[in-house]
Amino acid sequence: MKKHVVLYKKLSPTLMSRLQQHADVTLIDEPNRDGLARLRAALPHAHGLLGASLKLDAPLLDLAPHLEAVSSVSVGVDNYDLDYLDRRGILLSNTPDVLTETTADTGFALILATARRMVELANMVRTGQWKSNIGPQHFGNDVHGKTLGIIGMGRIGEALAQRGHFGFGMPVLYHSHSPKPAVEARFNAGYRSLEALLQEADFICLTLPLTAETQGLIGARQFALMRPQSIFINISRGKVVDEPALIAALQQGQIRAAGLDVFEREPLPHDSPLLQLNNVVATPHIGSATHETREAMAQCAVDNLLSALAGERPLNLVNPKAWGMRVSG
For residue range 40-81, list pLDDT tens digits in order.
999 999 999 999 989 999 999 999 999 999 999 999 999 999
Catalytic residue among 4, 192, 285, 294: 285
Catalytic residue among 237, 243, 256, 294: 237
Residue 87's CB is within 10 A of a number of other CB atoms, namely 13
Same domain, 64 and 139: no
Same domain, 119 and 189: yes
pLDDT, residue 52, reads 93
* Average pLDDT for the chain: 96
pLDDT, residue 33, reads 66
Q: What one-character DSSP code corresponds to residue 285?
A: S
Q: In what order do the strands lie in the sheet with 280-282?
A: 190-191, 172-175, 148-151, 203-206, 231-234, 257-260, 280-282
Q: What's the CATH number where 168 sits?
A: 3.40.50.720
Phi and psi dihedrals of 258, rounded to 5?
A: -140, 140
Q: What is the average pLDDT across 257-278?
A: 97
Please give the Cα distance from 30 to 39 (Å, whole number). 10
pLDDT, residue 328, reads 75
Residue 292 annotated among the catalytic residues of the structure: no
Residue 294 annotated among the catalytic residues of the structure: no
Residue closest to 151 by CA, chosen among 203, 96, 106:
203
Same domain, 165 and 141: yes
Please give the Cα distance from 83 to 244 (Å, whole number). 31
Please give the Cα distance from 41 to 19 (Å, whole number). 21
Same domain, 117 and 244: yes
Count: domains in the chain: 2
Q: pLDDT-based confidence at 154, cuts 50/70/90?
A: very high
Q: pLDDT-based confidence at 327, cuts 50/70/90?
A: confident
Q: Do 317 and 93 contact (CB within 8 A), yes or no?
A: yes
CA 66, 14, 90: angle at the middle one, nearest 5?
20
pLDDT, residue 171, reads 98
Residue closest to 163 by CA, chosen among 205, 201, 213:
205
Q: How far are the Cα atoms of 9, 51, 93, 209 from residue 15, in angstroms, in the given order?
A: 12, 13, 17, 28
Same domain, 57 and 143: no
Please give the Cα distance from 311 to 309 (Å, whole number). 5
Q: pLDDT-based confidence at 286, cuts 50/70/90?
A: very high
Question: Is 70 exceeded by the pLDDT of residue 329?
Answer: no
For residue range 213-238, list pLDDT tens digits in order.
999 999 999 999 999 999 999 999 99
Same domain, 311 and 164: no
pLDDT, residue 31, reads 73
Same domain, 129 and 227: yes
Angle between the 155-162 and 100-115 helix axes, to the nearest 10 degrees? 50
Question: Is 90 exceeded by the pLDDT of residue 104?
Answer: yes
Residue 285 annotated among the catalytic residues of the structure: yes
Domain of residue 27, residue span: 3-95+291-328
Q: What one-character DSSP code corresponds to residue 2?
A: P
Name the percent of the chain lying above pLDDT 90: 95
For residue range 4-24, list pLDDT tens digits in order.
999 999 999 999 999 999 999
For residue range 168-208, list pLDDT tens digits in order.
999 999 999 999 999 999 999 999 999 999 999 999 999 99
Same domain, 251 and 307: no
Please give the Cα distance from 125 to 26 (Å, whole number). 48
Same domain, 199 and 63: no
pLDDT, residue 232, reads 99
Give pTM, 2 decimals.
Answer: 0.93
Residue closest to 311 by CA, chosen among 293, 323, 294:
323
For residue range 74-94, list pLDDT tens digits in order.
999 999 999 999 999 999 999
pLDDT, residue 326, reads 79
**Could you tell me where the DSSP H helices lie in 201-314?**
220-225, 243-251, 291-309
Same domain, 127 and 73: no
What number of CA atoms fall less than 13 Å from residue 60's CA on the CB side?
18
* First CA to last CA distance, the chain: 22
Same domain, 158 and 233: yes
Q: pLDDT-based confidence at 36, cuts 50/70/90?
A: confident
Q: pLDDT-based confidence at 32, cuts 50/70/90?
A: low
Same domain, 269 and 306: no
